Structure 1
């Protein structure tokens, strides 16, 4: 569920053109993917 909510947060951040919210969404996605063991996806989001 956390990935789903973080994706929604990312979409909203883009609609609002909010760099801070976008960064937070990518961090949330990175953490969620890390917990699931998807390290490549986690790194992709951490780099954004």
Structure 2
């Protein structure tokens, strides 16, 4: 199985997210927050 690393992710006008840019620079990231704030939407951007 291959390992993949995301260098950057940029979302604009995606399912209610106006603008979001993530650049983990090789580190792990966590996505957390209250209900209905877009966590699942960010995960769906990978599908």
Which structure has the greater CA radius of gyration?
2
Q: Which has the higher strand share?
A: 2
- Tell me if TM exceeds 0.5: no
| TM-score normalised per structure 2 | 0.29
Higher RCO (C-alpha 8 Å, min separation 6): 1
Q: TM-score, normalised by structure 1?
A: 0.29
Q: Which has the higher helix share?
A: 1
